[in-house]
């Protein structure tokens, strides 16, 4: 929905640009006139000095004159002198009727040659004195303008102009059909689209359009895509700008850009203004600037004022995206500014499968491809990562010389995103390969011997570019939103299984368990400090999570003595699960050796192969080994 004009209206920005160019040319013209009037004429005049005839004869007698030329046109003699230092100077004097002059000059060794400076043509003089300085000035101006534009992120001659990219209603090319896995977010935005389509329905009852909606979620979940889809569904212009583009070197420029952005939006209403990474300018005001009046705060204040000032009935909707909502100023989040906060979370199992299908519809897929299996193997993946998995699978199919993407291509691309590419030429010794094989089977065997652990999907000892020499992949049968205390403890035991296997078989330990140790410690600490899974402390939180969408860093909020007790309990919890894993592997040592040998020979085995060997009796194991050999 949009307004259509019968004729083309003049663009105020074009007029402002023309005025700036006009003033720029006036300045250059004035500088050129001053240069020609003051600098160049004096230089031309100082080129030839005039002296009396007597002084000329004296110079000849003193041997100073080296070269002369007679100028009959002007009735002058032009000559060159050279002093004792060899410095030359051109002089001129009046032409007298002196019959002895020629002989006098010969006697002093004076040569007769061209001395008079050649006069350039009128066209050349005009070019040299007027056009050339003008061109030089323009060139210097352009160089300086581009240099300032690079430093300031925009056109240096258009201070205070918004850099927002404006898309016509048909240029976004995105609708809600292109967004998958975020059904709740789409439902929350559909009302805005409906208002832009039929505002009268809402105005008749006295309702006004929400002025702003804040999209909150981790990176790569499709916040920008959703904003474009709203514009595509509503068929209105779409302004897109990043919060960092408001940050300027000069105080007041960011606020001017905000004013210009909202001015353009009001002129093109109904429309949608999308500000990406709004936390750049919307951070809490803490007065840390000079009197609380720094550039960022001025920009934020102007944004708050503009959001209060424009008429919501015109149909200007402000959408913003951030992955750091906890840093935003409270005044920005109050009703009347950003009325709605729309979570755009990581997709669940159903959402991941839908996203894979959306990105796979333009890729030639084999009929046997199981998107559900890929979705189950990518727990915690964002929409952007899932799109990358599809693309990596297509690239692998091309490298392998196939015309369609197979299930194996997608499974390998999942591993590529998780652990990196395979290092085919990695120089790993046979002894280290054996250690890695026992390490990975240790993880898998402990997981399989516990009732509340995810099934083993794949085990490999092929090194990856991430630095991993091997890994064990576990995939849940369905979507799990909660983790019980038993499951958390089993996870710790599984993580310790690799180190336990090394110690039992080789009676030595290596650095290969560093990542396992880190993850086990993190789970054990979270159980005590965040999840209340400790009988002594109970339901008390000792840790706060910051930047939940950007890694979820934590900080302790307790006394030193309590922190020391927490450390003791973390160590005790990990030690208890280590002992549990050790007992499980001791009870299944024949299986550990058999599975490790099989993995050592095959390098990669599936979860089905692992379980098949694990469930075989000793006699069956011998038969299987003979058939394999």
Residues in the chain: 629
Residue with tokens 């070269």: 67
Quick check: 174 and 228 in contact, CB under 8 A? yes
Question: Cβ neighbours of residue 52 under 8 Å, at least 6 residues apart?
Answer: 93, 94
Residue with tokens 């990196």: 420
Helix/strand/coil for 369: coil
Residue with tokens 């690079």: 150
What are 478-484's contacts with CB under 8 Å, separation 24+? 478/349, 478/376, 479/348, 479/349, 479/350, 479/379, 480/379, 484/452
> What separation in angstroms does the CA of 160 have from each of 30, 126, 153, 166?
27, 39, 12, 17
Residue with tokens 């002894």: 431
Torsion of CA 447, 453, 454, 456, to 10 degrees: 10
C-alpha radius of gyration, the chain, whole number? 41
Burial class of residue 471 (count of CB atoms within 10 Å of its CB; 0-12, 13-18, 19+): buried
Distance CA 507, CA 498 (A): 13
DSSP secondary structure, 469-536, as one string: S-EEEE--SS------HHHHHHHHHHHHHHHHHHHHHHS---GGGHHHHHHHHHHHHHHHHTS---TT
What are 404-411's contacts with CB under 8 Å, separation 24+? 404/364, 404/365, 404/366, 405/360, 405/363, 405/364, 405/365, 405/366, 405/369, 406/366, 406/368, 406/369, 407/366, 407/368, 407/369, 407/370, 407/373, 410/369, 410/374, 411/373, 411/374, 411/377, 411/458
Helix/strand/coil for 93: strand
> What separation in angstroms does the CA of 410 have from each of 197, 366, 374, 604?
41, 11, 7, 16
Q: List residues with catalytic annotation.
A: 440
């Amino acid at each position: 929905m949009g307004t259509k004009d019968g004729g083309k209206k003049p663009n105020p920005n074009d007029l402002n640009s023309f005025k700036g160019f006009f003033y720029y040319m006036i300045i250059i013209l004035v500088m050129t006139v001053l240069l020609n009037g003051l600098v160049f004429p004096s230089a031309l005049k100082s080129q030839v000095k005039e002296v009396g005839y007597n002084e000329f004869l004296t110079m000849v007698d003193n041997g100073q004159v080296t070269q002369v030329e007679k100028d009959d046109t002007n009735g002058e003699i032009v000559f060159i002198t050279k002093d004792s230092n060899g410095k030359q100077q051109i002089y001129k004097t009046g032409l007298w009727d002196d019959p002895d002059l020629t002989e006098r000059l010969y006697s002093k060794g004076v040569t007769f040659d061209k001395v008079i400076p050649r006069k350039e043509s009128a066209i050349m003089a005009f070019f040299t004195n007027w056009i050339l300085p003008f061109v030089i000035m323009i060139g210097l101006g352009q160089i300086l303008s581009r240099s300032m534009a690079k430093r300031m992120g925009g056109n240096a001659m258009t201070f205070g102009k918004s850099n927002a990219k404006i898309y016509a209603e048909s240029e976004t090319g995105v609708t809600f059909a292109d967004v998958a896995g975020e059904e709740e977010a789409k439902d929350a935005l559909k009302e805005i689209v409906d208002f832009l389509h039929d505002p009268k329905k809402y105005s008749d009852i006295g309702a006004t359009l929400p002025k702003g909606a804040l999209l909150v979620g981790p990176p790569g979940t499709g916040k920008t895509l959703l904003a474009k889809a709203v514009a595509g569904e509503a068929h209105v212009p779409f302004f897109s700008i990043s919060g960092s583009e408001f940050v300027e070197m000069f105080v007041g420029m960011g606020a001017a850009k905000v004013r210009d952005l909202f001015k353009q939006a009001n002129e093109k209403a109904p429309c949608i203004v999308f500000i990406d990474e709004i936390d750049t300018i919307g951070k809490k005001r803490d007065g840390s600037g000079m009197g609380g009046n720094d550039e960022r705060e001025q920009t934020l204040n102007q944004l708050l004022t503009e959001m209060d000032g424009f008429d919501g009935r015109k149909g200007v909707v402000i959408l913003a995206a951030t992955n750091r909502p906890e840093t935003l100023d409270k005044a920005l989040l109050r009703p009347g500014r950003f009325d709605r906060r729309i979570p755009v979370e990581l997709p669940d199992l159903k959402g991941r499968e839908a996203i894979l299908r959306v990105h796979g519809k333009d890729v030639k897929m084999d009929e046997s491809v199981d998107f559900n299996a890929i979705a189950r193997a990518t727990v915690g993946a964002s929409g952007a990562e899932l799109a990358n998995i599809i693309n990596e699978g297509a690239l692998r199919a091309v490298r392998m010389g196939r015309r369609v993407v197979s299930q194996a291509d997608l499974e390998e691309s999942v591993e590529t995103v998780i652990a990196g590419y395979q290092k085919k030429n990695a120089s790993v010794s046979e002894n280290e390969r054996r250690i890695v094989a026992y390490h990975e089977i240790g993880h898998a065997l402990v997981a399989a011997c516990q009732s509340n652990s995810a099934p083993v999907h794949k085990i490999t000892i092929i090194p990856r570019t991430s630095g991993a020499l091997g890994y064990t992949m576990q995939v849940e049968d369905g979507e799990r939103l909660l983790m019980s205390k038993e499951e958390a403890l089993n996870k710790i035991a599984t993580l310790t299984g690799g180190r336990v296997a090394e110690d039992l078989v080789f009676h030595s330990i290596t650095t290969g368990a560093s990542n396992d140790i880190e993850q086990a410690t993190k789970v054990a600490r979270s159980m005590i400090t965040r999840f209340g899974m400790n009988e002594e402390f109970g339901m008390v939180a000792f840790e706060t999570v910051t930047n939940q969408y950007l890694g979820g860093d934590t900080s302790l909020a307790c006394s030193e003595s309590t922190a020391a007790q927490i450390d003791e309990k973390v160590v005790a919890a990990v030690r208890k699960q280590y002992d549990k894993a050790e007992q499980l592997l001791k009870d299944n040592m024949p299986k550990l050796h058999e599975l490790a040998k099989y993995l050592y020979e095959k390098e990669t085995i599936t979860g089905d192969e692992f379980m098949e060997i694990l469930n075989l009796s000793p006699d069956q194991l011998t038969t299987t080994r003979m058939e394999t050999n």
